[in-house]
C-alpha cells in the first residue's frame, strides 16, 4: 500500500525517496525518447563531408549512436547493481573502504583521463611538437605519482572521509568549510566541460542540435552520477579504462601501420618538434606551467577521493602510483597521434580536432564505434568524479555538520541530492558557454595555491594554526587573481604560492599564542 505523504506522516522519508525516483524516471524517460527519436531521423549528408559511412546511411539507426546508447545503458546497469550494496554515507563516499589495488589504479587513471586528455593533448602536440605534452601527459602523470609516493599514505592513515576533514582535524571547522568552497568552482566547471563534450559527441552523430544534445547529456550524467557512489564508479572505471585503452590503442596502431611503423613516424618529425622544452616563456614560464597541474593535482578532491576508499594505506599509495604510470603510458598515444597528424597532412580548423579527424580517416565503421566509446568512457569517468567528490564534501563537511541528527540513510540521500544539484549547475554552465577550456584552466588554479601550502603544513608539521590557514588560503587566491587579471604577470600562480607561504609563516610566528 502506498504511504500517505502528509507533513506529519511517519513515512515522510519513504515518500520523498519515491518522489525523487519518480522524477528521475520521468526525466530519464523523456531524454531517452528524444534520444531514440534522434537516432531514427534520417541523417543529413552534410553531417559527414568527405566520408560516407556511419552517420551517412539515410534511414535507420546510426551505428555510432546505437553503440553509444548500448554502452551507456551497460554502465547504468552496473551502477544500479552495485548501488544495492550501499546503506550509508560511508558506503557512497568511500565504498566502505574496501577497494583493492586494481580498482584504485583504474579509478585514478579513468578519473584524470578525461576527453581533454584525448583531444587537447593531441592537439597541443600537433601545434607545438613534443613541448605541447609537457603539462599533459607528463606534468599530470608526475603529479599523480607524487601524490601516491608522498601523500596518499599520510592522508589515508588519518581516517578521513573527505579531503576537507583534514582541515577540520588540524585547524578548525571554519577552515574546513573555506576549503570546500574554494575548491568547488574547479570541480563544477570541469564537470561542465565534460557535459558539453558529451553533448558535442551526441550532436555530431545525430540530428540533434547542440542545446538538445547537451540537455540529454546532462540528464544522463546526472542520473548516472546519482545512482552509484564510489564503489559503482570504481567498478565502471575498470570497464571505461579498458575502453579508453582499447580505442586509443587501435587508432594508434592503425595510424602507425599506415605510416610504416612508429619509428618511421618519429624519423619524419623535425628534430626541433621532438624537444620537450622549447624555451618559450623561459625557465619561469616552464615552472609556472608545471606548478599549476602539480600543485592543483596534489589537492584535487577528485583524485584524493579515489584512494581514501582503499582498504589499506599501502593499497592507496600503490594504486595511485600505478594509476599515474598507466596515465603516462596511455597518454603517450595522443602524443604520437599529434606528431603523426602533422606529417599525414590531417588538415583541421582547430588543432584539437586532429585526433578525431585521424579516427574518421583511418578507422572503419566498427572500429570507429570503439573509438567513440573510448571518448564517452573518458567523459563518464571524469564527470562522475567531478560531481561525486565536491558533492561529498558539501554534504559531509557542511550539510551534515549543520544537521548532525541525520541518520545514515538521510546522510546518504543528502550527498545524492547534492550531486543532483551540482549536476544542474554544471548543465547551466555547459549550456550557456561558448567554450570553457580556458575556464577549466582558470578553475584549476583558482584557490589551489593557498590550499596546497596549508595542506603541506597540516600533514607534515604542527607549525601554525587556524589564523595561518585562513591567511594562506585567502592570500594565495587573491594574489593569483590580481597577478593574472589585474597585472597580467607572467607567473601569477607562483606568486600566489609565495604569498600563501609567506602569509602562513608570518602569521604563525607573529600570533603563535592565538593559533
Mean pLDDT within 174-180: 95
At which residue does the C-alpha cell 573502504 appear? 97
pLDDT for the residue 127: 87
Least confident window among 121-125, 287-291, 397-401, 405-409:
405-409
Which whole number is the average pLDDT over 51-66?
Answer: 47
- What is the pTM for the complete model shown? 0.82
Give the tens place of pLDDT for each residue, 67-78.
777 777 877 787
For 204-238, write each residue's pLDDT tens digit: 667 777 788 888 888 888 887 777 677 777 888 88
d(CA 276, CA 278): 6
Residue 112: name the closest of 132, 90, 69, 142 by CA. Answer: 142
195 closest CA partner among 475, 384, 441: 384
Closest among 315, 308, 296, 290 to 95, alpha carbons compared: 308
pLDDT > 70? residue 6: no
pLDDT above 70 for 149: yes
In the three-class reduction of DSSP (H, G, I as helix; E, B as strand; rest coil), residue 96 is classed as helix
Straight-line distance from the first to the last Cα atom of the chain, in angstroms, rounded to the nearest whole number = 58
Check whether 14 has a pLDDT greater than 60.
Answer: no
In the chain, % of residues over pLDDT 70: 82
Q: Is the pLDDT of residue 460 over 50?
A: yes
Q: Band of the pLDDT at 17, cuts 50, 70, 90?
A: low
In the predicted structure, residue 57 carries a pLDDT above the cut 50: no
Task: Output the pLDDT for position 38.
Answer: 46
Specify the pLDDT at position 24.
Answer: 52
Report residue 347: phi and psi, to 5°.
-75, 125
Is the pLDDT assigned to residue 354 strictly greater than 60?
yes
Residue 171 pLDDT: 96
Determine how many CB atoms are found less than 10 A away from the CB of residue 357.
Answer: 20
Does the CA dihedral 488-492-498-502 come out positive or negative? Answer: positive
Tell me the C-alpha to C-alpha distance, in Å, between residue 314 and each of 148, 232, 274, 308, 334. Answer: 10, 22, 37, 11, 31
Give the mean pLDDT of 24-29. Answer: 54
For range 475-499, the mean pLDDT: 92
Residue 279 pLDDT class (50, 70, 90 cuts) = low
Query: Picking from 110-114, 165-169, 501-505, which range would have the lowest pLDDT averaged per residue?
Result: 110-114
pLDDT per residue as tens digits for the range 249-274: 999 999 999 888 888 888 888 888 88
Rounded-to-integer distance, Cα 208 and Cα 12, Å: 40
Report whether pLDDT(13) > 60: no
Top-level class of domain 65-434: mainly alpha
Tell me what the mean pLDDT of segment 379-402 comes to: 87
Best CA proximity match to 330, nearest among 120, 118, 127: 118
Beta-bridge partners for 310 = 99
Which of 31-40, 236-245, 367-376, 441-450 has the largest mean confidence?
236-245
Mean pLDDT along residues 458-469: 94
Rg (CA), the chain: 23
At 9 the pLDDT is 45
Burial class of residue 361 (count of CB atoms within 10 Å of its CB; 0-12, 13-18, 19+)? middle
pLDDT score of 90 more than 60: yes
> Confidence band (pLDDT; 50, 70, 90) for 309?
very high
Q: How far is CA 383 from CA 10, 145, 334, in A?
A: 36, 22, 20
Residue 35 has pLDDT above 60, yes or no: no
Q: Which residue has the higher pLDDT, 58 or 310?
A: 310
Structural domain boundaries of the chain? 65-434, 447-515
Contact criterion met (CB below 8 Å) for 108 and 242? no
> Does the pLDDT value for residue 151 go beyond 90?
yes
Does residue 330 register a pLDDT over 90?
Answer: yes
Helix (H) or strand (E) holding 365, with range, is helix 365-394
Give the pLDDT of residue 11: 55
Average of per-residue pLDDT values in the chain: 81
Q: What is the pLDDT of residue 434?
A: 65
Angle between helices 173-204 and 408-432 (to 10 degrees): 50
Amino acid at each position: 500500500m502506498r504511504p500517505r505523504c502528509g507533513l506529519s506522516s511517519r513515512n515522510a522519508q519513504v515518500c520523498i525517496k519515491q518522489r525523487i525516483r519518480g522524477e528521475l524516471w520521468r526525466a530519464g524517460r523523456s531524454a531517452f525518447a528524444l534520444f531514440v527519436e534522434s537516432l531514427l531521423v534520417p541523417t543529413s549528408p552534410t553531417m559527414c563531408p568527405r566520408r560516407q559511412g556511419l552517420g551517412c546511411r539515410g534511414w535507420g539507426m546510426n551505428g555510432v549512436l546505437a553503440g553509444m546508447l548500448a554502452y551507456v545503458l551497460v554502465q547504468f546497469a552496473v551502477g544500479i547493481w552495485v548501488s544495492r550494496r550501499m546503506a550509508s554515507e560511508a558506503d557512497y563516499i568511500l565504498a566502505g573502504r574496501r577497494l583493492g589495488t586494481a580498482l584504485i589504479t583504474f579509478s585514478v587513471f579513468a578519473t584524470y583521463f578525461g576527453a581533454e586528455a584525448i583531444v587537447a593533448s593531441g592537439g597541443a602536440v600537433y601545434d607545438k611538437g613534443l613541448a605541447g605534452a609537457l603539462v599533459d601527459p607528463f606534468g599530470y602523470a608526475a603529479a599523480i605519482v607524487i601524490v601516491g609516493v608522498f601523500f596518499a599514505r599520510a592522508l589515508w592513515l588519518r581516517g578521513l572521509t573527505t579531503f576537507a576533514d583534514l582541515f577540520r582535524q588540524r585547524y578548525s571547522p571554519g577552515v574546513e568549510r573555506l576549503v570546500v568552497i574554494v575548491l568547488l568552482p574547479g570541480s563544477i566547471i570541469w564537470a561542465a566541460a565534460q557535459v558539453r563534450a558529451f553533448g558535442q559527441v551526441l550532436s555530431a552523430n545525430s540530428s540533434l542540435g547542440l542545446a538538445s544534445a547537451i540537455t540529454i547529456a546532462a540528464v544522463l550524467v546526472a542520473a548516472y552520477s546519482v545512482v552509484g557512489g564510489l564503489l559503482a564508479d570504481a567498478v565502471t572505471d575498470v570497464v571505461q579504462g579498458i575502453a579508453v585503452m582499447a580505442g586509443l590503442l587501435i587508432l594508434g596502431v592503425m595510424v602507425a601501420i599506415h605510416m610504416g611503423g612508429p619509428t618511421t613516424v618519429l624519423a619524419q618529425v623535425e628534430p626541433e618538434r621532438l624537444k620537450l622544452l622549447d624555451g618559450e616563456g623561459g625557465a619561469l614560464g616552464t615552472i609556472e606551467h608545471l606548478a599549476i597541474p602539480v600543485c592543483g593535482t596534489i589537492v584535487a578532491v577528485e583524485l584524493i577521493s579515489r584512494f581514501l576508499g582503499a582498504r589499506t594505506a599501502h593499497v592507496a599509495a600503490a594504486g595511485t602510483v600505478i594509476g599515474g604510470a598507466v596515465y603516462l603510458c596511455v597518454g603517450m598515444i595522443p602524443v604520437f597521434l599529434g606528431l603523426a597528424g602533422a606529417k599525414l597532412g590531417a588538415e583541421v580548423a582547430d588543432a584539437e580536432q586532429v585526433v578525431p579527424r585521424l579516427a574518421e580517416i583511418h578507422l572503419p565503421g566498427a572500429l570507429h564505434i570503439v573509438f567513440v566509446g573510448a571518448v564517452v568512457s573518458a567523459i563518464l569517468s571524469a564527470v562522475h568524479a567531478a560531481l561525486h567528490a565536491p558533492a561529498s564534501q558539501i554534504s559531509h563537511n557542511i550539510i551534515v555538520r549543520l544537521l548532525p541528527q541525520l541518520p545514515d540513510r538521510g546522510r546518504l540521500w543528502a550527498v545524492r541530492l547534492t550531486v543532483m544539484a551540482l549536476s544542474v549547475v554544471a548543465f547551466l554552465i555547459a549550456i550557456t558557454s561558448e567554450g570553457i577550456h580556458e575556464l577549466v584552466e582558470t578553475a584549476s588554479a583558482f584557490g589551489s595555491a593557498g590550499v596546497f601550502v596549508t595542506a603541506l603544513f597540516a600533514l607534515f608539521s604542527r607549525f601554525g594554526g587556524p589564523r595561518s590557514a585562513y591567511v594562506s588560503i585567502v592570500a594565495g587566491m587573491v594574489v593569483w587573481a590580481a597577478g593574472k587579471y589585474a597585472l597580467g604577470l607572467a607567473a601569477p600562480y607562483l606568486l600566489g604560492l609565495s604569498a600563501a607561504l609567506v602569509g602562513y609563516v608570518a602569521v604563525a610566528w607573529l600570533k603563535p599564542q592565538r593559533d
